Structure 1
Amino acid sequence: MAPSLKGRVAVVTGASRGIGLGIARELVERGAKVCITARTPEPLAEAVTELGGPDHAIALAGRADDPAHQAEVVARTLETFGRLDFLVNNTGINPVYGPLLDVTAEQAAKILGVNLLAPMAWTKLAHDAWMGENGGAVVNVASLAGLRAAPGIGMYAVSKAALIHLTTQLGVELAPAVRVNAVAPAVVKTKFAEALYEGREERVAAAYPLGRLGVPGDVAGAVAFLLSDESAWITGQTLTVDGGVSLAGGL
């Protein structure tokens, strides 16, 4: 049986669809309550219904890199559920494609702001509001692109590499009260990643020793493990979730 998370409460960012919603669903199925965030209210409302309604999930719309939104989410979670045990920093953006040196300073700052600085801010808020005194666990959703060169998505890769190091740094600095780990998925079949496989899924999947691309549940199970007490002696680590593709040198 999967380890129970009954009585625990999580914030999951970027969770109206895809990997984030898959993570929220997994946590609810294991007994946790969740607050999910994303930019658009309507998909969030649909996600709350899918997760079982307000007894299991609440949602707040806003930008992941907006300090006011971050503060409101943490405050509302504590007000509604009375605690905040877990934080999953899932929101990520990749608005540009092409050589790294073609990325403008403004584009780079936006990518780093959402993919790196926002997770750091969310973690500080969760730590200061609850976890620092009561304990907790954080999981950052990084990427296999953060572990190797990733042509075409170089700035995204740089941001995820920085997120992986942030995970290591905070794993040291927030111990022993708070554990901080990350997952690094390869290509997962979501709307966010469609450009990496659409129209050629079979050919892309052929590079994966396990014979297929990922689905959100593959990442969700890994995240739930890293949040659970089963990983109580693990911190500062990044778990590669990639169907074995990195073994063959692929992305």
Structure 2
Amino acid sequence: MPGQSLSDKVVLVTGGSRGLGREMVLAFAEAGADVVIASRKLDGCRALADEVKSTRGRRALPVACNVSEWAQCDALVETVYAEFDKIDVLVNNAGMSLLYPSLDQVTETMFDKVIGVNLKGPFRLSTLIGTRMAAAGGGAIINISSIEASRPEPLAVPYAAAKAGLSNLTGGLAQTFGPTVRVNTIQCGAFATDISKSWPDELRAEMTRHNAMARVGEPNEIVGAALFFATDASAFCTGATLAVDGGWR
């Protein structure tokens, strides 16, 4: 039976130092993987890498990377392959949204930043790493999307557009890199991460009012879906989207 072991695999998680990324890093290491923790702030990556080494006994490489910068994505890939000589699983988790008073006050800089982190970076990393995965015989790419991709709210329109693009990217990459590289999406609902602390009251109310479980998710509740797509438990899944949203309706 397919299992959820990642023994001796190498997993790269962007946005990996906190929130959902942190929970996935710890779970992957617990399952036997060596991990690469990439985020804009190196200190947070280093702290989590030290925790992985001391509590899970796995290798952990912290790397500073702003995925919205093409050159930094390239440098991240080269750094990881120089250290491990492979990447078995890529998790495009880094994401961001920006608050704005009205859509006409979204600046070009704001728009480009949201598109860069949520879509441009995953595209660049996936194409570079997916090509190498295919040449090496296989791998898995997991894109972390959002319910905003299919149910956009007025307070997050640029973010929703970027996440819709990311979800569509999954299908294109699955066809491009198949049959050996699997590419799937986890479409997340609201989770109680650091970002949730800045939600306006009306957004927080909306997130719970339309949720069958009447609450937001805890960060560790992403782990089951992430392990499923990272391992051969999902051996016949590619181009798929799994909603982890508490029953958004």
The normalised TM-score by structure 2 is 0.90
For 1:100-115, list aligned pairs within 5 A. 100-115=103-118
- 1:36 aligns to 2:37 (yes or no): yes
Correspondence for 2:64:
61
CA distance in 2, matches of 1:4, 1:17: 23
Paired residues of 1:7 and 1:31 also in contact (CA < 8 A):
yes
User: What is the aligned-residue identity percentage?
Assistant: 31
Paired residues of 1:99 and 1:154 also in contact (CA < 8 A):
no
Structure with a larger share of its residues in helix: 2
Count of matched residue pairs: 246
Correspondence for 2:239:
236
Correspondence for 2:192:
189
| Stretch of structure 1 that moved more, 174-183 or 126-135 | 126-135
| Stretch of structure 1 that moved more, 187-196 or 75-84 | 75-84
Query: Residues 85 and 237 (structure 1 numbering): CA distance in 2 closer, same or farther, change over 3 Å?
Result: same
Paired residues of 1:23 and 1:221 also in contact (CA < 8 A):
no
- Aligned-pair CA distance for 1:176: 0.7
CA distance in 2, matches of 1:98, 1:124: 35
Cα RMSD (Å):
2.3
Paired residues of 2:144 and 2:187 also in contact (CA < 8 A):
yes
For 1:115-154, list aligned pairs within 5 A. 115-154=118-157
Q: Secondary structure at the match of 2:195?
A: coil
Correspondence for 2:166:
163
- Aligned-pair CA distance for 1:205: 3.8
Paired residues of 1:85 and 1:131 also in contact (CA < 8 A):
no
Query: Residues 221 and 163 (structure 1 numbering): CA distance in 2 closer, same or farther, change over 3 Å?
Result: same
What letter corresponds to residue 28 of structure 1 in structure 2? A
| Stretch of structure 1 that moved more, 56-65 or 68-77 | 68-77
Q: Secondary structure at the match of 1:96?
A: coil
- Aligned-pair CA distance for 1:202: 8.4
The normalised TM-score by structure 1 is 0.89
- Structure 1 alignment gaps of length 5 or more: none
CA distance in 1, matches of 2:132, 2:207: 43
CA distance in 2, matches of 1:197, 1:237: 32
